[in-house]
């Protein structure tokens, strides 16, 4: 087994290398579906770092492996980012990759190319240490997460047959050790009505009124949702309300809601759809029964990635967590205490990650450990401390050894 000091010294010696790699990634804009150029740059980094295998899959994910062992560990970073938002709120160019005062600045520094840069360094440390343990460590640099979290991993597992025994998500945890987060789904509810002249509303059936009652029912549902002790409460919000009518002087013949549902432990797709169906089925029926039956549906995601491949899936992102005494959580905590001489904070993300597919859908035990504070995710003046990058690189490099020792 390699010593903690060997890994810490290596990560410290590669501190500038890690920061420079992150700055390079930040300088290449990489919105979801447009990741080709940044994947090319990371591929180059992985090749020159000496990874044993580097390839790009059909969806455009970059897969870089170290080791030849029979067991499979995946360490994942999504490398797409959200857009910049209002540029006047940024103190520096979001694509500067500025390195100053111990931080790397720019869009993607926290969410989450910082994790990606630390992974490249970890791969280099393992390669230079001649890692040849029982794990094949797959570092995955994945696409389209900001648009459809987990899609990239559904592709890796279902199409590429990359099925890890354990996974690590490198989204920002502020160097805490995370073991889950709420899931989410997107639901559409559509009502049809009967249009009539606006001067004689009694001749028609106004879809807006039906839809409004449903919206108020959703508001009341949000108050009824019960909390989970670890993940907290699920939530439901109407995020869009639309209607149609032949003219502004007519009764609306259609109206629909879009619902953003956050799912806590025990709240599945079936549960959440059932709640909404119950609300709409309990609405007063229209006089004369003109309104069509409201349609409640889960939305689909089917956009193509930068390679032109699409991998359609329902907009359902299952909740996941593993228990605090799970061997993988224990190994993660042992990696932290071994390197940093203190117990990590064991917690959860507020937002969603690729864990929805890896653990939520496919049941593969997953933990999170990543550089940066999530409060900067999707915010102006995003920045990550270089200390975090260095520590995260050391964590990813030591974890395979700890796993081999403990499991």
Binding residues vs Zn ion (CB under 5 A): 111-112, 171
Handedness of CA 44, 41, 159, 401 (dihedral sign): positive
Please state, in angstroms and rounded to a whole number, the distance separating the CA atoms of residues 217 and 49.
56
SS (H, E, C) 191-202: EECECCECCCHH
- Selecting among 57, 80, 111, 149, the annotated active-site residue is 80
Residue 21 or 112: the one with the smaller Cβ distance to Zn ion is: 112
Closest distance of CB 150 from Zn ion, Å: 11
Residue 230 or 351: the one with the smaller Cβ distance to Zn ion is: 351
- Residues contacting residue 88 through CB under 8 Å, at least 6 positions apart: none
- Selecting among 145, 171, 205, 275, the annotated active-site residue is 145
Pairing assessment for the beta strands 313-314 and 232-233 based on DSSP bridges: unpaired
User: Cα separations (Å) of 285 from 76, 94, 191, 404?
Assistant: 50, 53, 12, 63
Residue 204 or 371: the one with the smaller Cβ distance to Zn ion is: 371
Closest distance of CB 377 from Zn ion, Å: 6
Residue 133 or 318: the one with the smaller Cβ distance to Zn ion is: 318
Q: Which of 247, 259, 373 is nearest to 315 (CA)?
A: 259
Q: Which of 255, 256, 204, 265 is nearest to 230 (CA)?
A: 265
**Phi/psi at 384 (5° precision):** -125, 135
User: Cα separations (Å) of 152 from 179, 185, 229, 352, 353?
Assistant: 20, 17, 30, 14, 11
Pairing assessment for the beta strands 166-169 and 71-78 based on DSSP bridges: parallel
Tell me, yes or no, if 374 is annotated catalytic.
no
146, 343 in Cβ contact below 8 A?
Answer: no
Burial status of residue 158 (CB atoms within 10 A of its CB: 0-12, 13-18, 19 or more): middle
Assign 6 to helix, strand or coil: helix
Q: Look-up: residue for tokens 């796993």?
A: 403
Residue 108 or 217: the one with the smaller Cβ distance to Zn ion is: 108
Residue 111 or 275: the one with the smaller Cβ distance to Zn ion is: 111
Residue 17 or 155: the one with the smaller Cβ distance to Zn ion is: 155
Closest distance of CB 145 from Zn ion, Å: 6
Q: Name the token pair of 296.
A: 């409640």
Tell me, yes or no, if 145 is annotated catalytic.
yes
254, 190 in Cβ contact below 8 A?
Answer: yes
Closest distance of CB 169 from Zn ion, Å: 9
Which H or E run contains 321?
strand 320-321
Chain residue whose CB lies nearest Zn ion = 111
Residue 17 or 349: the one with the smaller Cβ distance to Zn ion is: 349
Closest distance of CB 187 from Zn ion, Å: 23
Q: Which of 228, 231, 213, 217 is nearest to 352 (CA)?
A: 231
Q: Name the token pair of 295.
A: 């349609």
- Residues contacting residue 289 through CB under 8 Å, at least 6 positions apart: none
* Positions marked active-site: 80, 145
């Amino acid at each position: 087994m390699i010593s903690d000091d060997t890994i810490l010294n290596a990560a410290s010696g590669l501190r500038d290398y890690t920061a420079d790699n992150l700055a390079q990634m930040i300088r290449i804009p990489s919105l979801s579906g447009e990741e080709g150029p940044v994947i090319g740059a990371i591929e180059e980094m992985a090749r020159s770092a000496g990874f044993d295998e580097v390839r790009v899959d059909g969806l455009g994910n970059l897969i870089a492996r170290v080791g030849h062992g029979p067991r499979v560990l995946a360490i994942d970073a999504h490398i797409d980012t959200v857009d910049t938002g209002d540029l006047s709120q940024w103190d520096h160019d979001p694509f500067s990759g500025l390195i100053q005062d111990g931080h790397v600045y720019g869009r993607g520094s926290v969410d989450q190319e910082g994790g990606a840069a630390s992974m490249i360094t970890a791969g280099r440390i393992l390669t230079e240490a001649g890692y040849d343990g029982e794990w094949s460590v797959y570092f995955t640099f994945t696409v389209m997460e900001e648009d459809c979290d987990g899609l990239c991993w559904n592709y890796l597992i279902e199409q590429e047959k990359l099925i890890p025994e354990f996974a690590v998500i490198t989204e920002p945890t502020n160097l805490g050790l995370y073991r889950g987060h709420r899931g989410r789904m997107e639901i559409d509810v559509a009502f049809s009505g009967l249009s009539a002249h606006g001067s004689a509303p009694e001749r028609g059936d106004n879809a807006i009124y039906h839809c409004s009652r449903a919206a108020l029912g959703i508001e009341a549902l949000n108050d009824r949702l019960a909390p989970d002790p670890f993940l907290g409460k699920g939530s439901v919000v109407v995020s869009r309300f639309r209607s149609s009518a032949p003219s502004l002087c007519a009764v609306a013949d259609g109206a629909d809601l879009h619902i953003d549902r956050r799912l806590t432990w025990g709240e599945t797709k079936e549960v959440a759809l059932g709640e909404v169906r119950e609300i709409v089925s309990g609405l007063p029926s229209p006089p004369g029964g003109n309104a069509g039956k409201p349609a409640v549906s889960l939305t689909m995601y089917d956009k193509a990635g930068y390679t032109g491949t699409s991998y359609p899936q329902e907009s359902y992102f299952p909740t996941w967590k593993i228990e605090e005494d799970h061997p993988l959580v224990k190994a993660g905590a042992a990696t932290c205490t071994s390197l940093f001489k203190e117990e990590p904070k064991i917690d959860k993300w507020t937002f969603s990650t690729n864990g929805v597919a890896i653990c939520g859908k496919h049941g593969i035990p997953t933990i999170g450990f990543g550089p940066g504070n999530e409060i900067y995710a999707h915010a102006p003046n995003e920045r990550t401390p270089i200390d975090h990058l260095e520590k995260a690189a050391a964590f990813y490099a030591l974890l395979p050894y700890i796993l081999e020792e403990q499991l």
